[in-house]
């Protein structure tokens, strides 16, 4: 098994992910579906060792036995970039590889709502992109930075683990920092970023209390901050942030969040009706005065009702996003049934 042959196959088949585990054939994920490559033999220990050594540095190989987890990036000239995750399972090495194109997609390429263009050019505040793993959060943020880069002059600093899309300066100036190489942690990088004269800060993921608190502070001090959370809904992101803090701090955080939050985009990926590729369904919550008041008063459960009637502000619920995609014949009704909060109602509407 040659790793580069598998990576070429991965790109050819438009696979988002490649999984390599001992005693199994290589497995690719295409449009969300896993496909074992049955024509290839089962992967051996030596195959994985060779692949691991090909995509890692000497320092990473020395570090891996102690941490037994590793994230890194790997490029093949003329083919694509790849995000590599190495991990142990049942005492054996395994690799999960995600494809990252060299070219940063545009918001139009991704068919994301037009409000994303307006949000990307906000002068300050906090914008969150949420969703489960593998729903394209990093790609959406990269497209927003790409749009900003083409439209206005800003100093942009990204903090990523690892660096995924590579940006080229256009109207903006972009510095990309990678955990482990350029900074020890998200929280550490955020503590010092305000001394680097940024206009925009992208934080790959708000993983812990310190990172969340520092990101909110950066937004309070007049910067635009973009980051991700693993929550299945826009209102759920509010609860996740507040619950990360001790009870005695939560009232203060609600107040801070209500003042800095510009928007939450929560997305999932659906297979296109054409059978080729996937498209994002995006729930959008915008920081209007009404939404800010609900956050400050702790009435998170009422946010959905305001989103349902907030289309003039660019808001929509996930169910409304589904209905829009179905009406435009981008996705088939049966594709969204598993995700819709009222599947029977949707079935009756589009029967």
Question: 87 - beta bridge partners?
Answer: 69, 94
- pTM of this prediction exceeds 0.85: yes
Residue-level pLDDT at 343: 59
Helix (H) or strand (E) holding 27: strand 27-30
In the structure encoding, which two tokens stand for residue 79, read together? 């083919």
pLDDT tens, per residue, the chain with 351 residues? 689 999 999 999 999 999 999 999 999 999 999 999 999 999 999 999 999 999 999 999 999 999 999 999 999 999 999 999 999 999 999 999 999 999 999 999 999 999 999 999 999 999 999 999 999 999 999 999 999 999 999 999 999 999 999 999 999 999 999 998 899 999 999 999 989 999 999 999 999 999 999 999 999 999 999 999 999 999 999 999 999 999 999 999 999 999 999 999 999 999 999 988 999 999 999 999 999 999 999 999 999 999 999 999 999 999 999 999 999 999 999 898 877 666 566 655 655
**Which domains are assigned to the chain?**
3-100 (3.30.450.90), 115-349 (3.40.50.300)
Q: Where are the beta strands (DSSP E) in 155-302?
A: 155-160, 173-178, 200-203, 224-229, 261-271, 278-286
Residue-level pLDDT at 117: 98
> Pick from 214, 154, 225, 224: which is nearest to 186 by CA?
214
In 3-state terms, what secondary structure has residue 320?
A: helix
Do residues 87 and 72 touch, judged by C-beta distance below 8 A? no
Compute the chain's Rg from CA coordinates.
21
Number of CB atoms found within 10 A of residue 234's CB:
28
Question: Strands 155-160 and 200-203, how do they pair?
Answer: parallel
Instruction: Give the span between the Cα atoms of 214 and 225, in whole angstroms.
Output: 10
């Amino acid at each position: 098994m040659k790793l580069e042959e598998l990576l070429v196959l991965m790109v050819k088949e438009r696979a988002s992910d490649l999984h390599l585990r001992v005693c199994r054939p290589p497995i690719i994920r295409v449009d969300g579906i896993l496909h074992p490559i049955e024509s290839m033999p089962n992967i051996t220990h030596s195959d994985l060792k060779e692949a691991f050594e090909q995509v890692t540095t000497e320092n990473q190989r020395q570090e891996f036995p102690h941490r037994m987890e590793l994230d890194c990036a790997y490029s093949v000239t003329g083919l694509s970039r790849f995000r590599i995750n190495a991990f142990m399972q049942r005492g054996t090495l395994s690799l999960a590889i995600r494809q990252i194109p060299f070219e940063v997609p545009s918001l139009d390429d991704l068919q994301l709502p037009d409000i994303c263009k307006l949000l990307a050019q906000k002068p300050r505040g906090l914008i969150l992109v949420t969703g489960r793993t593998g729903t394209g959060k990093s790609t959406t943020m990269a497209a927003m930075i790409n749009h900003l880069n083409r439209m206005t002059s800003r100093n942009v600093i990204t903090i990523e683990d690892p660096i995924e899309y590579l940006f080229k300066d256009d109207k903006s100036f972009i510095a990309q920092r990678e955990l482990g190489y350029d900074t020890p942690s998200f929280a550490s990088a955020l503590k010092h970023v305000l001394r680097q004269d940024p206009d925009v800060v992208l934080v790959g993921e708000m993983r812990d209390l310190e990172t969340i608190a520092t990101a909110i502070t950066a937004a309070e001090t007049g910067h635009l901050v973009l980051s991700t959370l693993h929550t299945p809904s826009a209102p759920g992101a509010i609860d996740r942030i507040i619950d990360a803090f001790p009870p005695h701090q939560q009232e203060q955080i609600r107040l801070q969040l209500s003042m800095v939050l510009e928007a939450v985009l929560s997305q999932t990926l659906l297979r296109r009706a054409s059978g080729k590729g996937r498209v994002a369904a995006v729930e959008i919550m915008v920081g209007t005065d009404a939404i800010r008041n609900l956050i400050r008063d702790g009435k998170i459960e009422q946010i959905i009702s305001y989103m349902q009637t907030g289309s003039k502000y660019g808001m929509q619920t996930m169910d409304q996003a589904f209905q829009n995609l179905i009406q435009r014949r981008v996705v088939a009704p049966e594709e969204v049934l598993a995700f819709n909060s009222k599947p029977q109602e949707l079935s009756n509407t589009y029967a």
